[in-house]
């Protein structure tokens, strides 16, 4: 029985035709011919590592036109396909319309008529030090620290001669006290030695002072000297500018550039203080008070807590 079953299996396997017999019976198989042609082409190509930095097709001498990606053709009513892509056309933004910007500035001025810098200071030097200490810290906390600091080191020369342990102990509660101590000590040294003890009145000179980046320089120039060299972009201005649709960027430098384009220069200083105060009192980060906001009708933020339109 086993011998007969094995014979039947062998005869059944032998009766299965191979691909040559199938080709004779059914005609040529395009898939088999395609794979045979590709296999023979691959065998004729040199190995890829034999020609460093070049693909096998390029090493085999293929024409550059065969290796170049085809260009996407454009079509439309303007003419036949040209093979080039049109640059994206800028979409009109109604949130940057001059009428809306003017209305927004007018409402801010009425809503925050007494907006000013919240850092306590008596001169440009004290404002510079207070602004350096306000990084990653609230203005309220800085105002608690600066009186004792300025009683001990009232001038840039005195600050330059202070020891780091003394400064660190005085500014410890503002956070990052070691870095801030080095910054205000270095600021006192540079202003005393290079600027004769006077805080510079230009942006180019002020940003060379340790700890005085562009935001700090704009605060000092605008508040202490009344010079509009830029727009102060702190966390509140950054958040509200994006919320009101005045910018789409997240980097402070790019936000400032956008605001300087759409805000009149004579409003740069007041605009920052008004927006900061508005962000602290009305448009708070966790839960904006949209029902009490004077800008609500001109604000199209998607996460408003209340809307009239």
> Which residues have a catalytic role annotated?
215, 234
Beta-carbon neighbour count of residue 212 at 10 Å? 26
Give the N- to C-terminal CA distance of the chain in Å, as an integer: 91
Q: How far apart are CA 254 and CA 273, in angstroms?
A: 19
Output DSSP code: residue 222.
I
Cα dist from 303 to 176, 243, 286, 290, 308, whole Å: 33, 9, 11, 10, 13
Q: How far apart are CA 151 and CA 37, in angstroms?
A: 90
Q: How far apart are CA 183 and CA 160, in angstroms?
A: 10
Q: Which residues contact 295 (CB under 8 A, 6 or more apart)?
A: 104, 107, 108, 111, 244, 278, 283
198 phi and psi, to 5 degrees?
A: -110, 135
Residues facing residue 76 across a β-bridge: 79
Q: How far apart are CA 299 and CA 292, in angstroms?
A: 13
């Amino acid at each position: 029985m086993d011998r007969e079953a094995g014979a039947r299996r062998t005869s059944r396997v032998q009766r299965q035709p191979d691909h040559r017999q199938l080709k004779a019976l059914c005609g040529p198989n395009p898939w088999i011919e395609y794979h045979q042609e590709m296999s023979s082409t691959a065998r004729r190509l040199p190995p890829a590592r034999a020609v460093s930095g070049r693909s096998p097709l390029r090493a085999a001498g293929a024409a550059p036109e065969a290796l170049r990606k085809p260009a996407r053709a454009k079509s439309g009513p303007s003419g036949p396909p040209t093979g080039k892509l049109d640059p994206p056309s800028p979409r009109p933004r109604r949130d940057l319309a001059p009428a809306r910007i003017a209305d927004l500035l007018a409402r801010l001025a009425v809503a925050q008529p007494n907006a000013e810098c919240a850092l306590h200071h008596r001169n440009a030097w004290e404002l510079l030090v207070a602004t350096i200490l306000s990084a990653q810290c609230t203005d309220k906390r800085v105002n608690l620290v600066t009186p004792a600091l300025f009683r001990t080191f009232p001038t840039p020369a005195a600050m330059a001669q202070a020891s780091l342990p003394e400064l660190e102990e005085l500014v410890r509660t503002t956070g990052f006290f070691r870095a801030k101590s080095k910054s205000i000590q270095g600021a006192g040294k540079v202003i005393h030695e290079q600027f004769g003890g006077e805080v510079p009145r230009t942006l180019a000179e002020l940003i060379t002072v340790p700890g005085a980046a562009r935001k700090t320089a704009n605060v000092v120039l605008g508040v202490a000297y009344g010079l509009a060299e830029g727009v102060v972009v702190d966390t509140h201005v950054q958040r509200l500018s994006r919320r009101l649709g005045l910018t789409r960027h997240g980097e402070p430098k790019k936000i400032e550039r956008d605001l300087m384009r759409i805000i009149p220069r004579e409003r740069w200083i007041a605009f920052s203080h008004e927006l900061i105060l508005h962000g602290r009192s009305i448009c708070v980060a966790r839960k904006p008070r949209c029902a009490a906001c004077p800008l609500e009708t001109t604000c199209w933020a998607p996460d408003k807590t209340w809307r009239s339109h």
